[in-house]
């Protein structure tokens, strides 16, 4: 592996930058007219926008609509020689939010995503850099050239947002693509190109757990435009295939890799086993909605000892319902029986002022369905939550994110759902009957981030409507409120707190417990005042996505100082999980995180006492993802009743050690290898670094096995999650 990395770096150094010209601004207009693709069109009256900021940041609100950019650029003839030699000129537009169609000097050159009127229906691709190719003959050398970009924005922000447009000589990576995926237990390498190419494909497989090479080969390949060159190779679980294509003509390479999943969680026993939280908080008089989380063979019969008056148990479903008038701690014994045996768990029902005594566990629609969420999709994931057994591990909230709202309020001003949610009350009733809970999303502003109606001026009415529907969780997202904020000269912390205080007042007047989830990306150090508005959690950062860079930034870099602010009833929220099938749209794909990155993700969220909201389509959950989310010993760290968030104890040479004390006197310890290569790690040495010498017992929580504190291998971006008894 080392040798490979070295040759890669060397090549990058010797290649040098390709000749190019850039443009940082464009003429811009909201609307949509075919004539705007014409280079001769007079756009001098249009406004000028910068291309490195989205249009929302430049004061334009234009959700679910078209707008055009016309980029004027003089292309110098000094670029001509290189363009003629490679036969192409690259228009490197960077990413565009969300879908675009582009013309160069009046000729169509490409399209990314689909518009609402397309037969496929709208699908954006806001993260993908647009690389369109034109022939040198289409260029007006030393003269004005016009790149006309028709953009459809499915919810603000919209448009160009990252950087200037670059025009020049293409590199191999702009012309050819190498992707590696899996199909029927084999790794599948797909090469495509927009020009004829030939070169060498080098393949190497490594077992990530033992860090040994398990195979290597080199093949000659040809790539023809319009056709996929496909190579398949067998791959074992826990192996990583790295593929590098070296091109003869360009003397350059493109590379990709695929890591086959491997399951560490041992299979759950057939006998009942309790996997849920050991406490549950409810306010006096509020509905108790709680599902007993026992794994094991079904059918099961449930019983509870010590139930207070007012609460009853459905013995077939294991669902508690009713309410308790008197505040107090009610010790219960939860019992489940099946053909194979019986299990009992000691549990406390805490009736009092506090809810969310352990971090919320459940699902949210955003990371999978984005704005395409519907009642049907929520039901399908809820059914899978039960049938697949995730509910047996304590996952209970089914949270609908943005895009449930109708275009307009009812004549009496009340908020209503759109056609995708024909019966939201019915959905809540069904969830409650199954011991699950329903969450909803809104904004204190006039609009949500997706451009849907917010609560402004209707806060009390909306809180009452949600209560009537049976809402148990509100994610309240700043977004459109920035207009109110920007118009007010007051920029003190109080100005950030105000909208959340207002909703707190109305939420807490409702006769049910509504988990209050603040979403304003960490502004004004929300963790310092979130508890003062009785929030149960607050997002600490912007949105997460399924890349290592995002996970690293949000999970590791942005959480280190936040541990003092979390505790039973109020949690730091580093955003939803990005494992399983995600996509933020109607089209889903497997998370791009490697299996080790996913183990790191879940381990870190367990240590951080973070909200555990699954972000994938549960109806399509594979065994790897299920086992990742349903390891009872790992989840017990997240749900530990002390609620102490982990502290980062060590950061050294790309390794980090985080630890948190648990209620049983042990310590949960995560040793993370954030390097790009796997490492041999001396566990005893690591534990000594955090003051744990001569420990009595070390347990590997993913493998659910006691282990010696000896040397082990931690794969790149991977983790050892331990429970240590002193």
**Which of 515, 508, 511 minimizes the C-alpha distance to 437?**
515
- C-alpha dist (Å) from residue 657 to 604, 686, 690, 701: 10, 8, 8, 15
Residue 711 buriedness (CB in 10 A; 0-12 / 13-18 / 19+): exposed
The contact mask relative to ligand GAL for 345-364 (x = CB under 6 A, - = no) is --------------------
Residue 543 among the catalytic residues = yes
How many residues bind to ligand GAL according to rule CB under 6 A?
A: 11
Give the whole-angstrom CA distance, residue 430 versus residue 422: 14
Residue closer to ligand GAL by CB (options 68, 366) is: 366
Q: Are 436 and 396 in contact (CB under 8 A)?
A: yes
- Give least dist CB 127 to ligand GAL, A: 15
Give the whole-angstrom CA distance, residue 509 versus residue 458: 15
Q: Are 299 and 263 in contact (CB under 8 A)?
A: no
For the CA atoms of 633, 634, 635, 636, the dihedral, rounded to the nearest 10 degrees, stands at 50
Does the footprint of ligand GAL cover residue 448 (CB under 6 A)? Answer: yes
CB atoms within 10 A of CB 192: 18
Q: Which of 161, 250, 262, 366 binds ligand GAL (CB under 6 A)?
A: 366
- Give least dist CB 394 to ligand GAL, A: 22
Residue 211 among the catalytic residues = no
Residue closer to ligand GAL by CB (options 56, 638) is: 56
Choose the stretch contacting ligand GAL; rule: CB under 6 A; options: 57-65, 443-451, 589-597, 610-618: 443-451
Out of 52, 543, 649, 700, the active site residue is: 543
Does the footprint of ligand GAL cover residue 446 (CB under 6 A)? Answer: no
Interacting residues with ligand GAL between 635 and 664 (CB under 6 A) = none
Interacting residues with ligand GAL between 373 and 402 (CB under 6 A) = 401-402
Give the whole-angstrom CA distance, residue 201 versus residue 371: 40
Interacting residues with ligand GAL between 147 and 166 (CB under 6 A) = none
φ, ψ of residue 5 in degrees (nearest 5): -60, -35
Choose the stretch contacting ligand GAL; rule: CB under 6 A; options: 201-209, 448-456, 609-617, 667-675: 448-456
- Give least dist CB 632 to ligand GAL, A: 28
Residue closer to ligand GAL by CB (options 479, 657) is: 479
Does the footprint of ligand GAL cover residue 543 (CB under 6 A)? Answer: yes
Give the whole-angstrom CA distance, residue 145 versus residue 148: 10
Residue closer to ligand GAL by CB (options 112, 448) is: 448
Does the footprint of ligand GAL cover residue 334 (CB under 6 A)? Answer: no
CB atoms within 10 A of CB 92: 21
Cα radius of gyration (the chain): 28
CB atoms within 10 A of CB 144: 11
Interacting residues with ligand GAL between 111 and 130 (CB under 6 A) = none
Residue closer to ligand GAL by CB (options 449, 514) is: 449
Q: Which of 355, 356, 479, 604 binds ligand GAL (CB under 6 A)?
A: 479
**Which of 485, 496, 543 minimizes the C-alpha distance to 155?**
543
List 320's β-bridge partners, or say none.
Answer: 290, 313
- Give least dist CB 402 to ligand GAL, A: 4
Residue closer to ligand GAL by CB (options 208, 449) is: 449
Q: Are 133 and 175 in contact (CB under 8 A)?
A: yes
- Give least dist CB 458 to ligand GAL, A: 19
- C-alpha dist (Å) from residue 405 to 40, 371, 426, 710: 42, 11, 16, 55
The residue at minimum Cβ distance from ligand GAL is 449
Q: Which of 73, 148, 456, 519 binds ligand GAL (CB under 6 A)?
A: 519
- Give least dist CB 431 to ligand GAL, A: 20
How big is the chain, counted in residues? Answer: 726
Q: Which of 281, 450, 470, 530 binds ligand GAL (CB under 6 A)?
A: 450
Does the footprint of ligand GAL cover residue 253 (CB under 6 A)? Answer: no
Residue closer to ligand GAL by CB (options 192, 364) is: 364
Six token digits for residue 33: 């007219």
- Give least dist CB 549 to ligand GAL, A: 17
Helix (H), strand (E), coil (C) string for 597-640: HHHHHHHHHHHCCCCEEECCCHHHCCHHHHHHHCCHHHHHHHCC
Out of 392, 477, 617, 640, the active site residue is: 477
Choose the stretch contacting ligand GAL; rule: CB under 6 A; options: 177-185, 263-271, 346-354, 441-449: 441-449
- Give least dist CB 536 to ligand GAL, A: 16
Catalytic sites, residue numbers: 477, 543
Interacting residues toward ligand GAL by CB under 6 A: 366, 401-402, 441, 448-450, 477, 479, 519, 543
């Amino acid at each position: 592996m080392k040798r490979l990395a070295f040759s890669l770096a060397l090549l990058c150094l010797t290649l040098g930058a390709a000749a190019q010209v850039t443009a940082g601004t464009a003429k811009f207009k909201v609307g949509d007219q075919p004539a705007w693709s014409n280079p001769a069109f007079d756009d001098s009256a249009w406004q000028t926008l910068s291309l490195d900021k989205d249009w929302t940041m430049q004061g334009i609100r234009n959700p679910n609509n078209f707008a055009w950019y016309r980029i004027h650029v003089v292309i110098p003839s000094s670029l001509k020689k290189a363009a003629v030699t490679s036969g192409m000129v690259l228009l490197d537009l960077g990413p565009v939010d969300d879908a675009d169609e582009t013309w160069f000097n009046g000729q169509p050159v490409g399209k990314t995503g689909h518009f609402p009127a397309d037969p496929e229906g709208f699908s954006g691709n806001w993260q993908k850099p647009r690389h369109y190719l034109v022939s040198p003959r289409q260029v007006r050398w030393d003269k004005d050239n016009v790149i006309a970009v028709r953009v459809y924005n499915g919810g603000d922000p919209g448009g160009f947002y990252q950087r200037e447009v670059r025009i020049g000589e293409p590199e191999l990576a702009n012309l050819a693509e190498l992707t590696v995926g899996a199909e029927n237990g084999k790794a599948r390498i797909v090469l495509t190109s927009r020009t004829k190419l030939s070169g060498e494909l080098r393949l190497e497989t490594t077992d990530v757990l033992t860090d040994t090479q398990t195979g290597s080969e080199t093949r000659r390949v040809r790539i023809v435009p319009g056709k996929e060159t496909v190579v398949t190779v067998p791959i074992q679980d826990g192996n990583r295939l790295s593929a590098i294509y070296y091109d003869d003509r360009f003397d350059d390479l493109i590379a990709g890799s695929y890591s086959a999943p491997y399951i560490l969680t041992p299979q759950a026993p057939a006998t009942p086993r309790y996997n849920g939280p050991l406490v549950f908080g409810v306010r006096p008089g509020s509905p108790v909605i709680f599902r007993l989380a026992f794994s094991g063979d079904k059918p099961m019969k449930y019983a509870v000892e010590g139930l207070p008056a007012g609460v009853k148990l459905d013995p077939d479903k294991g669902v508690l319902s009713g309410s308790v008038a008197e505040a107090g701690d009610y010790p219960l014994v939860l019992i489940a029986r099946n053909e194979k045996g019986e299990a009992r768990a000691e549990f406390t029902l805490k009736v009092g002022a506090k809810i969310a005594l352990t971090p919320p566990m459940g699902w949210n629609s955003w990371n999978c369905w984005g704005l395409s969420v519907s009642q049907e999709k929520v039901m399908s994931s809820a059914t899978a939550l039960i049938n697949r057994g995730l509910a047996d591990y304590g996952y209970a909230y089914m949270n609908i994110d943005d895009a449930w709202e109708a275009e307009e309020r009812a004549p009496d001003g009340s908020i209503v759902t759109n056609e995708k949610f024909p019966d939201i009350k019915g959905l809540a009733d069904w969830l409650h009957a199954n011991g699950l809970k329903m969450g909803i999303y809104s904004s204190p502003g006039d609009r949500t981030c997706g451009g849907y109606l917010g609560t402004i001026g209707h806060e009390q009415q909306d809180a009452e409507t949600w209560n009537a529907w049976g809402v148990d969780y509100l994610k309240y997202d700043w977004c459109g409120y920035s207009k109110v904020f920007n118009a007010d000269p007051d920029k003190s912390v109080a100005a950030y707190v105000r909208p959340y205080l207002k909703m707190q007042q109305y939420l807490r007047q409702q006769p049910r417990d509504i988990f209050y989830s603040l979403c304003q990306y960490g502004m004004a150090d929300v963790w310092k005042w979130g508890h003062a508005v009785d929030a149960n959690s607050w997002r600490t950062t912007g949105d997460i996505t399924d890349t290592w860079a995002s996970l690293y930034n949000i999970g590791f870099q942005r959480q280190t100082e936040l541990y003092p602010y979390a505790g039973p009833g109020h949690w730091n929220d580093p955003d939803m999980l990005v494992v399983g099938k995600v996509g933020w749209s109607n089209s889903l794909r497997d998370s791009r995180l490697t299996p080790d990155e996913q183990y790191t993700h879940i381990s870190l969220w367990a240590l951080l006492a973070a909200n555990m909201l699954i972000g994938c389509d549960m109806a399509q959950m594979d065994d790897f993802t299920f086992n990742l989310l349903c390891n009872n010993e790992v989840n017990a760290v997240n749900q530990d009743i002390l609620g102490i968030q982990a502290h980062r104890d060590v950061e050294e040479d790309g390794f980090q050690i985080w630890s948190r004390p648990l209620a049983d006197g042990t310590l949960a310890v995560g040793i993370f290898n954030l390097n790009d290569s796997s490492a041999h790690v001396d566990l005893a040495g690591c534990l000594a670094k955090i003051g744990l010498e001569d420990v009595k017992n070390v347990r590997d929580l993913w493998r659910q096995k006691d282990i010696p504190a000896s040397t082990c291998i931690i794969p790149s971006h991977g983790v050892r999650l331990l429970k240590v008894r002193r």
